[in-house]
Amino acid sequence: MSLSKDKGDKNPLEKALAAYIKALQTKPILTKAITSGCIASIGSLVSQLIVPNPATGGKIAWRSVAAYGAFGFVVSGPLIHQFYILLDKMMPPKKEKATALDGIKRVIVDRLVFAPPFLLLFLYVITILEGQGHQAATARIKESFWPVLKLNIQVWTVFQYININYVPPKYRVLFGNVLALVWSVFVASKRRKMALASQK
């Protein structure tokens, strides 16, 4: 069987994955920005389907979907890309000499240094983009920040430990994006439930 025929026999998933990996290598920031924006939008959409909003009569709030997508594209994708580069420079993952303590240090930086301000930025900017204003954004932070941060640390620390220390850099974003989809659905649902509770 010829090489050209083998390439032609690739299924759509293999072709998409190959194209994605190539895009990561040639245009990493743009690729991660687009990926983050799409995943964040899907997360918002799914969360609204899971927990319908009475304020919209159960209809999809497309502005919210767009807000999540915009945040993912403009902030989340590029910022996380730069953070991982900085983390690797500060604490290079030397696999030959790496110890469990080295891995723990890397995940502590992610969980305790990066995650809290990123979550603050996320809660504030999303609320502003949804059109609710500064007061609503600060109120959202007061209501949601600690509960969401605690759950973030409790639930995703083990996955981030694996991602940061064992996943090869070129696949790290793919692994993180799968987690991000689950996490964005959770955060959006959490915010929606807390908003509904405050209305009662």
Q: Is residue 2 part of a domain?
A: no
Segments forming the whole domain that contains residue 188: 13-199
Give domain status of residue 47, yes or no: yes
7 domain residue, yes or no: no
Residue 96's pLDDT is 59
Does some domain include residue 4? no
94 by Cβ neighbours in 10 Å (0-12 / 13-18 / 19+) ranks as exposed
Q: What is the pLDDT of residue 2?
A: 47
Q: How many domains does the chain have?
A: 1
Strand intervals (E) in the chain: none
Residue 8 included in any domain: no
Q: CA end-to-end span of the chain, whole Å?
A: 67
CA distance 61 to 45: 8
Establish if 77 belongs to a structural domain: yes
**What is the per-residue pLDDT for 180?**
74
Please count the CA atoms within 13 angstroms of the CA of 45 that sit on its side-chain side.
10
* pTM (2 d.p.): 0.81
> What pLDDT shows up at residue 110?
92
pLDDT of residue 29: 92
Alpha-carbon span 41 to 56, nearest angstrom? 18
Q: What percent of the chain has pLDDT over 90?
A: 36
Instruction: Write down the pLDDT at residue 4.
Output: 47
The parts of the chain modelled with pLDDT lower than 50 are 1-5
pLDDT at 143: 92
Q: Does residue 6 lie within any of the structural domains?
A: no
In a domain, residue 130? The reply is yes
